[in-house]
Structure 1
Amino acid sequence: MSGFRDQVFYDSSRDNGFFSPITATANFCEEDYAISYYIGEFISTLSNVAYIYFAIYPPKLSLQSKPYGKTSNSRMIWDVHTASLMSIGITSAIFHASLRSFPQFLDESSMYFLVAGFSFDLLTTSYRTIAGKPAITKHHRTLAATVILLAICTTSVITLVTGDLIIHTFVFATGILICGIKMSGLIRKHDKSTRSKLYWHLFTADMALNLGLGLWIIDCTPAYCAMLRNFRGQLIDTFPAPLGLLLGFVTELHGWWHFFTARAAAEFISLIRYLTTTVPDELDRKESKVNGTVNGKVNGKAT
């Protein structure tokens, strides 16, 4: 770690690791190959375990006897949300370890597929019926799936060709915003007690996401990065080696971005599973429920 504070933001002098040269268009404040010859960004790589953990153990909603993701025999639910969140953890770890452009593309694409899964489930959910049948038909679901798939594939190709992080950030943020608006609309259909609990979980997820985003912005800003690196160097110089290094790890803000976004995504997953499989008690069953179905689903399974 010698010369820690002498490094500059996005310094190329450390591009001498196992996966060099660096070809990714996104780089972060953590010094490249500072800890291991085989791992480009050490903490940013290891912190991806948060995505895998929360995919397996999603948070429990306060109105549930057990969290979605746990069945009667305590096994996780394997669905598109679980797979997408786990894929983010895997592809992001490969990207941060290698700092290569193709793993970066896989990382960004896995984020799109997570939002795509959210969008599909939410946009094809309605508690209404028309002429005694679910308002959302198989045709609607097919159309939604086609539009969403085309959108994420097009965006993935554009970001792969241009390497523009702004496009990726805008598309991902827009998808999350649309999902948040739809979730809020579905929550309003529930009774007051249930509604307040669901809104609290939505608020918790939003705060975790915004906190992670704030740390991500700080980490990506050259001026703040220089301050972080200087402070990190002081910690390492001041405290004994193991403690100083551990304290330095705490200041790697991109790792915290991984933790908070993983927590937020898992909260969204629990909310979406509840909202898309549970009919509000206040609605007239003749209008909101047909033979025990919600959008053609019985207990969350397609009919």
Structure 2
Amino acid sequence: MEHWPHFPFIPYPPSKAGYWSPVTSTLNWCEEDYYATPYSAEIVNSLTNVLFLGLGVKGVLNVRKHGHDSVFLVAFLGYLLVGTGSFLFHSTLKYPMQLVDELSMIYTTCLMCYASFSYSRSSAVKKFLAVSLTGLAVFITLYYHYLQDPVFHQNAYALLTTVVVFRSMYTMEVALRPRWRKSLEEDRLLKQKQGLPVPSKERQEFENVRDMKTLKTMWFMVVYGLSMFLGGFAIWSLDNFFCSTLREWRQRVGLPWGIFLEGHGWWHLMTGMGAYLYIIWGIWLRHVLNKEQDEYILVWPHMWSFPEVVRLSPGQQSDAPSKKFT
């Protein structure tokens, strides 16, 4: 095969058997098998999951340090499990590791679904949601194992994710946009009747301005996170559809340049960032719902960095808890 002579390269070794052979998974991606090391079936698809591991640890430490709700600690542990399962799956291409990878995505999304729908509900409703979502997760697990059809898993995951994201969008809008709330005067009268403290009109106006700033930043996070998800999905789809062409191109450019044509690896990086943003958004939204906007702030130094929600120390004040690009 004629190589493109524009830059130095190392020729791609051919696909071959490795330490974990034979392949037992129902999926095998476009990356050549065992071309870099006999101990990893798909080296790029494996190592791109290091982002999940790093961000998962960062998220767990952030939850513990700043006292976020425990449901988000479990969510980040699920995020870590997704990254670990995907690493093992792509390293071995074994069916049990495939199940760890794919089903952990379902379980983590069910957990976020519970966090989204159970807030401020009665104990009976929370129990019903927990039982229902557990039953759904068990059903998906058993039916997927019976079918062994990846399309079923992908559709189930996409549907669950869509429900959770749209529910969170609705909650965010209702909680923060002043037009969806009662007028200032109606709100004051209602609080007076209930014997609750009544903020001054100036304080209420301040909170409305603050909430709109928060809402603007949250919508930026939503759009940014969805762009990462959808962009990664588009690249992954191209990787599936044009696999033979991409393999030919990788052979032509050689290593290390061919690594940049690994579409499934880009999917890992982009969805890892998108999923992390979603959990951080969920943490911040929970503090908003708990009326703790003045106690926490979103720290996001650069667009290409990884944000986190931090608790302000005593004496600090958050007048505009929003992204801080510098």
**What TM-score comes out, normalization by structure 2 length?**
0.70
Q: Pick from 90, 97, 102: which aligns with 1:103?
A: 97
Residue in structure 2 matched with residue 62 of structure 1 by the alignment: none
Give yes or no for contact 2:41–2:90 (8 Å, CA) kept in 1: yes
- Cα distance per residue 1:45-79 (max 9 Å; x no partner): 11111111121235xxxxxxxx9547269xx9971
Change (3 A) 1:77 1:119: closer
Residue in structure 1 matched with residue 112 of structure 2 by the alignment: 118
Opposite residue 170 of structure 1, the aligned amino acid is N
Partner Cα separation in structure 1 for residue 167 and residue 227 of structure 2? 18
Asked if 1:260 corresponds to 2:275, the answer is no
Give yes or no for contact 2:12–2:35 (8 Å, CA) kept in 1: no
Asked if 1:172 corresponds to 2:172, the answer is no
Residue in structure 2 matched with residue 218 of structure 1 by the alignment: 238
Helix, strand or coil at the partner of 2:78: helix
Taking the TM superposition and a 5 Å limit, the aligned residue runs for 1:66-77 are 69=63, 71=65
Residue in structure 2 matched with residue 295 of structure 1 by the alignment: none
Opposite residue 134 of structure 2, the aligned amino acid is L
Give yes or no for contact 2:52–2:79 (8 Å, CA) kept in 1: yes
**Higher helix proportion, which one?**
2
Give yes or no for contact 1:68–1:270 (8 Å, CA) kept in 2: no
Deviation of 1:280 after TM superposition, in Å, equals 7.5
Determine which structure has more spread, i.e. the larger CA radius of gyration.
Answer: 2
Deviation of 1:276 after TM superposition, in Å, equals 2.3
Residue in structure 2 matched with residue 248 of structure 1 by the alignment: 258
Please, which runs of 5 or more residues in structure 1 have no aligned partner? Answer: 8-12, 59-66, 127-135, 237-244, 282-298
Q: CA RMSD in A?
A: 2.6
Partner Cα separation in structure 2 for residue 187 and residue 150 of structure 1? 28
Give yes or no for contact 1:69–1:77 (8 Å, CA) kept in 2: no
Please, which runs of 5 or more residues in structure 2 have no aligned partner? Answer: 1-9, 177-210, 292-310, 312-326
* Bigger relative contact order, structure 1 or 2 (CA pairs below 8 A, ≥6 apart): 1
Residue in structure 2 matched with residue 294 of structure 1 by the alignment: none
Taking the TM superposition and a 5 Å limit, the aligned residue runs for 1:271-290 are 271-279=281-289
Deviation of 1:151 after TM superposition, in Å, equals 0.6
- Cα distance per residue 1:150-185 (max 9 Å; x no partner): 111111111122210110000000011001111111
Give yes or no for contact 1:91–1:106 (8 Å, CA) kept in 2: yes
Give yes or no for contact 1:187–1:199 (8 Å, CA) kept in 2: no
Residue in structure 1 matched with residue 183 of structure 2 by the alignment: none
Deviation of 1:211 after TM superposition, in Å, equals 0.8
Residue in structure 2 matched with residue 17 of structure 1 by the alignment: 18
